[in-house]
Structure 1
Amino acid sequence: MKALVYSFYFPPHGGPGAIRPLKMLKYASEQGLEGTVICAAEGDYNVRDDSLTVEIPASFEVLRTPERLDPLSFIRKRKPGAIHAPISDYFVLPDNKIWWIRPASKLGVMALPSADFVWATCPPYSAAMAARRAADALNLPLILDFRDSWTENPMRPKLPLPHRLVNRRLARKTIRRADLITGVNDAICDEIRRFAPKSPVACIPNGYAPEDFEGLDFAEKNDELTLFYLGTIYPDIRYPWPVLEAMAEVPGVRLRVAGRYPQRLTDDIARLGLGDRIDLLGFLPHREALQVGADSDISLLYIDPRPGGRGLTTCKAYEYIGLGNPILGFLPEGEAMDLLRDIPNAIIIAPEDKGAAMTSLIELKETFAANALVKHIPTGRYSRKNQAEEWFEMVREIVSSRKGEK
């Protein structure tokens, strides 16, 4: 079976936006899937992880659109430290990758007219619109996958009413064309069902690949309690200020950050006198980042209580589950909290409760000193391989059904 895949991010691009489609195609290819991936030019994304390229299945051809189709590349040249540019949502919808839609859809139609279905993973939501164009041109089933909400994404600013109406119209038109839609959690799937009540919708959560953790050297004993944070820290979204405040009051706790971070973080670290206790490692290749996590004692998850936060789980939560270390989660009510409630060594506190944060750090220090931190051995519940097999089975049913109708 052949797939025409639209994924703006794909290795050597790094980060969760590239890892989910990579793992899905890797494991589905073991079940006989082949095809072509249409993705952005290597220079159109500033997070690079060459180590992931060895996992691209040989049965897939990777084609890239020309460079400079991402307006953020211009912003990054003007502001090299910029991590994201939410202001662009006021000018282009569904997102700032809108210029990618036309060349990407054309490239796919020319590259694989013999495809059996078209699949897109979002965000960017422009990938779904490019895939819809290709599916219409080739008269093929359209399969969509959502890692974040299209219209209720808390990572995006609250748009004026006219913008929201346009964005919802684009989402409705695209989603209703799909023959199957998957989302990473129930909140996203509920939103999809509101747009397309007659379409098949399934929850395929993020996960972890057990082989990514094989051979990691887990710390025997650190000199002090060491927290680990994986992923980007944004200056105004999910910024872990209560964690920094608590660390300033509780000595003997170290934090390692494996991900991009804003100038605000370095300024706050200096102001709180935490410079010798927080290691800012920057973005690391996936395996190296996991090794930093294995060298640490506690995995740190922080989601602030902003509107729409209920639908956030974040990819890092599943990598933390795969690591097995205790998880300290600063979480509002929602999908992430529901996920960690099922993890026996997870500690959940309110995201803005400095007192609870201090108490948790003190208690964890005492447990650490007694050498009593408990690891959790993960099951296969969130195995990416199992999820890919489940997804591909649904896809086969959709494709077979469409072929039977012709």
Structure 2
Amino acid sequence: MRDIVENDSRATLTDKLAIGNIMPKRRPKLLFLAFPFPPAKTPGSVRTWNIATYLIRLGWDVTVVVPNPAILRNVEDSEKVSVELERAGIKRIITDHRWRCLAPNNLKCWNQGLGKLAGGACRVVARKLGIDRHIGWIKPTERACSNLTADDVDLIFATGQPFAAFSLAKRLSERLGRPYVLDYRDPWTGNPHAQRHQPLTATRREASLLQDCAAITIVSPSWGSALDQRFGVGSKIHVVTNGYDSYEMTAVKPYDFGHCAFVYTGIFYPPKRSISPFLAALKLLRESPHGSANEWYFHYYGVDEKHVREQANRFGLTDRIVFHRQVPRLAALSAVKGASLAVVITSVEEEETLEDKGIVTGKIFEAVGLATPVLLIAPMGSDASAITATTGLVKSFKGSEIQEMASFLEDVVRGQAPQPRNIENCSWAIISQNLDALLRAVVVRDSCPILVGDGVGGRSGSSAPTQAR
């Protein structure tokens, strides 16, 4: 496996921008293909919102292409979001979506009786043929963007999943004559949480899109290395992690639990992402002198109550667990800020594949931004642990280190939790500066390719992914 190195070319590129005065005097124009975007209530919306707002603060003109919120199943307050978008200066192109039956969990569609039966048949055929379940977003989006010209766009930036956005980026790039950059929030054909292997047609499609793109951003070094090993595109890959928005975190008020609270927010993917090791450690804590003498509870916020209840019964901890179900984002953040400890799990398995090591959930950055200590369960040498190491807040354990976790929990109960140090490096204020430099370099390369080598958007050769964080 290649080492991840710092991108020492960024300073040179920035110098070229300044000395050559190459960038246009006007604000560069970004067309952002972001299926998950507020008011959509999905984890991916957090990253896309922060990318859009921080790039605008750094001098970009951002237009986000999104599906109509009226066709989405899970949305926040649309009117409130519209006001926030206007205040932030974000423009939107709102699209329709065909073949909604391929994604009934995300999109409103006829999903009862004969409609459910027909939709199920369509989904089976789509899976076998390797058809993206959001393929119905492509044509309506092309129509919605049909009035755009090359004067309206300097760069196309597409985030996946859904990876139909990548195909859409290439098609718009060909029509407008503008470069496109692909943003991986998750792996596509190499996703460690995927229940089925993607067909060969999907792998070929991914290879073609990667070959023609100007650059690639991805959330972790290991996922970047895995992508390079499979497709030989290391010269294009730049690591742009998730992060926290300091403005949002400052406004969060802590929830008063009235006792030592361990909090987990989100979903599970058993057997890789399971609550079992943590509850095993809680059982040991309960049996310890300090654990039995102090009041503490584990609070779960999310939709996987069944999984947590089953494991709580197994370890005899039903009286120590409080269920809150799924709550609005602000309520979840309030709980994390008021917690004595946030629990984050990437994988409980001992294997150390690049795909498993590269899992870095966004919630770990929110806990860091809220200055809440974190118990992280991840493979040894995980990217989640390495990226957050300088914050001082994250203590990482393998899934098998039950006794070690129990000892750490005992320290937390006794008031000896980790304290924050350098958390700013995980903020979008810092991360967005590196993304801004990368995207500007792509625009420069497209305008004056003789000035920039293969370090940004090169189409041949392979090198280590660069750490743009």
TM-score by length of 2: 0.74
Tell me the secondary structure at the aligned position of residue 145 of structure 2: helix
- The alignment yields a C-alpha RMSD, in angstroms, of 3.1
Tell me if 1:286 matches 2:286: no
Of 127-136 and 243-252, more deviation after overlay is shown by 243-252
Does the CA-based 8 Å contact 1:105-1:131 persist in structure 2? no
Correspondence for 1:133 among 163, 167, 171 = 171
Structure 2 equivalent of residue 238 of structure 1:
273
Tell me the secondary structure at the aligned position of residue 373 of structure 1: coil
Structure 2 equivalent of residue 174 of structure 1:
209
Structure 1 equivalent of residue 6 of structure 2:
none
Query: Aligned partner of 2:102: which letter?
Result: P
Q: Shift of residue 315 of structure 1?
A: 0.7
Structure 2 equivalent of residue 83 of structure 1:
none
Count of matched residue pairs: 393
Tell me if 1:107 matches 2:144: yes
Structure 2 equivalent of residue 296 of structure 1:
339
Q: Shift of residue 89 of structure 1?
A: 8.3
Correspondence for 2:225 among 190, 196, 204 = 190
Q: Shift of residue 97 of structure 1?
A: 2.0
Does the CA-based 8 Å contact 1:119-1:142 persist in structure 2? yes
Of 263-272 and 181-190, more deviation after overlay is shown by 263-272
Query: Aligned partner of 1:393: which letter?
Result: A
Q: Shift of residue 208 of structure 1?
A: 0.5
| Separation of aligned partners in 2, 1:255 and 1:272 | 13
Q: Deviation string for 1:213-248 (max 9, x for gaps)?
A: 21433478x543211212223455412122233334
Of 332-341 and 291-300, more deviation after overlay is shown by 332-341
Structure 2 equivalent of residue 204 of structure 1:
240
Q: Deviation string for 1:291-339 (max 9, x for gaps)?
A: 1111111011112226521110111111121121221111112212322
Tell me if 1:48 matches 2:87: no
Pairing 1:5-404 to 2, within 5 Å after superposition: 5-42=32-69, 45-50=72-77, 54-56=83-85, 57-66=88-97, 69=100, 71-73=102-104, 77=111, 90-91=127-128, 93=130, 95-111=132-148, 114-159=152-197, 163-194=198-229, 195-197=231-233, 199-218=235-254, 223-251=258-286, 252-261=295-304, 263-269=306-312, 272-304=315-347, 305=349, 308-333=355-380, 334-365=382-413, 367-368=414-415, 372-404=416-448
Query: Aligned partner of 1:13: which letter?
Result: A
Does the CA-based 8 Å contact 1:94-1:170 persist in structure 2? no
Q: Shift of residue 185 of structure 1?
A: 1.2
Query: Aligned partner of 2:208: which letter?
Result: K
Tell me the secondary structure at the aligned position of residue 121 of structure 1: strand
Does the CA-based 8 Å contact 1:234-1:261 persist in structure 2? no
Q: Shift of residue 250 of structure 1?
A: 3.5
Query: Aligned partner of 1:240: which letter?
Result: I
Q: Which runs of 5+ in 2 are unaligned?
A: 1-27, 117-122, 287-294, 451-469
Does the CA-based 8 Å contact 1:35-1:112 persist in structure 2? no
Structure 1 equivalent of residue 289 of structure 2:
none
State the identity %: 20
Structure 1 residues 345 and 393: alpha-carbon distance in aligned structure 2, compared to 1, 3 A threshold: closer
Structure 1 equivalent of residue 30 of structure 2:
3
Query: Aligned partner of 2:436: which letter?
Result: F
Q: Shift of residue 261 of structure 1?
A: 2.0
Q: Shift of residue 140 of structure 1?
A: 1.0
Does the CA-based 8 Å contact 1:123-1:146 persist in structure 2? yes
Tell me the secondary structure at the aligned position of residue 14 of structure 1: coil
| Separation of aligned partners in 2, 1:338 and 1:88 | 41
Q: Shift of residue 196 of structure 1?
A: 4.7
Does the CA-based 8 Å contact 2:254-2:335 persist in structure 1? no
Q: Shift of residue 142 of structure 1?
A: 0.5
Structure 1 residues 344 and 78: alpha-carbon distance in aligned structure 2, compared to 1, 3 A threshold: farther
| Separation of aligned partners in 2, 1:94 and 1:68 | 11
Q: Shift of residue 14 of structure 1?
A: 2.1
| Separation of aligned partners in 2, 1:276 and 1:338 | 35
TM-score by length of 1: 0.85
Q: Deviation string for 1:87-134 (max 9, x for gaps)?
A: 998435364223323333343344565211211011121211111111
Does the CA-based 8 Å contact 1:22-1:55 persist in structure 2? no
Query: Aligned partner of 2:357: which letter?
Result: R
Greater relative contact order, per chain length (Cα 8 Å cut-off, separation 6+): 2
| Separation of aligned partners in 2, 1:141 and 1:341 | 35
Q: Which has the larger radius of gyration?
A: 2
Does the CA-based 8 Å contact 2:392-2:421 persist in structure 1? no
Of 34-43 and 16-25, more deviation after overlay is shown by 34-43
| Separation of aligned partners in 1, 2:264 and 2:105 | 29
Query: Aligned partner of 1:126: which letter?
Result: A
Query: Aligned partner of 1:182: which letter?
Result: T
Q: Shift of residue 26 of structure 1?
A: 0.7
Query: Aligned partner of 2:359: which letter?
Result: L
